[in-house]
Amino acid sequence: MRLNTSAGTNLKDPRTGRIYVRKKDCFQFSVRNQSIPRFAEYVGFTIQRKSKRLREAALRAKQQQSVDSF
């Protein structure tokens, strides 16, 4: 996990052109493809949109692992 953008920095909305000031730090993290099913099981997301994409990615990762094991 790494700090992506710090609190207090400006964010320009590309649609409206409005400038906003970030109130919180924004972090970025990555999960290796082989660990996606475990991440989905133990951590997951509460936001439905992200949860759905994570479930789909976990299924693809499991299918890929089963193909690689042959």
- Tens-place pLDDT, residues 2-47: 889 999 999 999 999 999 999 999 999 899 999 999 999 999 999 9
Q: What is the DSSP string of 18-66?
A: -EEE-SS-EEE----GGGHHHHHHHT--SSHHHHHHHHHHHHHHHHHHH
Q: If pLDDT is split at 50, 70 and 90, which confidence band does 51 have?
A: very high
Q: Which of 21, 32, 25, 30 is nearest to 3 (CA)?
A: 25
pLDDT range class, residue 69, cuts 50, 70, 90: low
Classified as helix, coil or strand, 4 is strand
pLDDT(59) > 70 = yes
The residue type of 56 is E
Q: What is the CA radius of gyration of the chain?
A: 17
Confidence of residue 70 (pLDDT cuts 50, 70, 90): low
